[in-house]
Structure 1
């Protein structure tokens, strides 16, 4: 790596001058079009990193919310009724989870019916 420090006139080279020269040599042999396409400045790199982390955070937030509503659903099923006041958002999210669970149940039932139809049948007395 070549590190430019505004307080020091000479750039700092790490781990060695030979290593840096080798990397620079390889870099200079890459066609200019590919070189420019792959190069990032620090700001672009950080923006890209922030965007990826933001997407990851959004995904995890959705997963956590779904898990929270699933736990809430099982609590309601255990108690037999809804004892807590739900916000409109909670209600919508819980409805989504219930619909999703119902779809899973329907798929399993269809799968069981198909497997049941494929199972060989034996007649008594033959």
Structure 2
């Protein structure tokens, strides 16, 4: 059974606020696994309206030590992780843009326009993308055949798809200018 989606809004009821805080704090404090799994130094400080002292995780002395270590770290080192994450995002966007450019070139070629502006590396990339799509189509066709065979078996009928030729399959494939992948796909 799935859980009901929690609506994030201020809780007016004080007792439900306290109960929710207790549960969430307990769950949050169990997040020590990230230390073990990723070998990352982590800590947390959580203030409660009902306590004079904050909760610290893993413990107060470790939190103090990590904060001092962070303060003593050169600013360049502190910002290094943020820069690396941004570079990762940029690389992902560049790769997506590159694929869109290749798709557009393919669609232009299909529409009858020449491939004069493309470099050899562009053509190799186009080939790789076409081969990737063909593998994807072959996998889809195989799964459709298996599904159809299962349905026919359940119905007690003879399989209707035995030896489809590639032309029938290619007619089902949308090869048009409008089949350019978008950011959402």
| The two structures share one fold, judged by TM-score above 0.5 | yes
Per-residue CA distance 1:41-88 (angstroms, 9 max, x = gap): 421122221111111111111111112112222222233xx6122211
Which is richer in helix?
1
Q: Give unmatched runs, 5+ long, in structure 2.
A: 1-51, 159-185
Aligned residue in 1 for 2:84: 51
Equivalent residues in 2 for 1:68-107 (5 A)? 68-79=101-112, 83-85=114-116, 86-107=118-139
Of the two structures, which has the highest relative contact order with CA contacts closer than 8 Å and spacing of 6 or more?
Answer: 2
Q: Tell me how far 1:32 sits from its aligned partner.
A: 6.4
Distance, in Å, in 1 between the alignment partners of 2:134 and 2:68 is: 48
Larger Rg: 1
Calculate the aligned-residue CA RMSD, in Å. 3.1
Q: Which runs of 5+ in 1 are unaligned?
A: 1-21
Count residues with an aligned counterpart. 97
- Runs (4+) of structure 1 exceeding 6 A deviation are none
TM-score, length-normalised on structure 1? Answer: 0.62
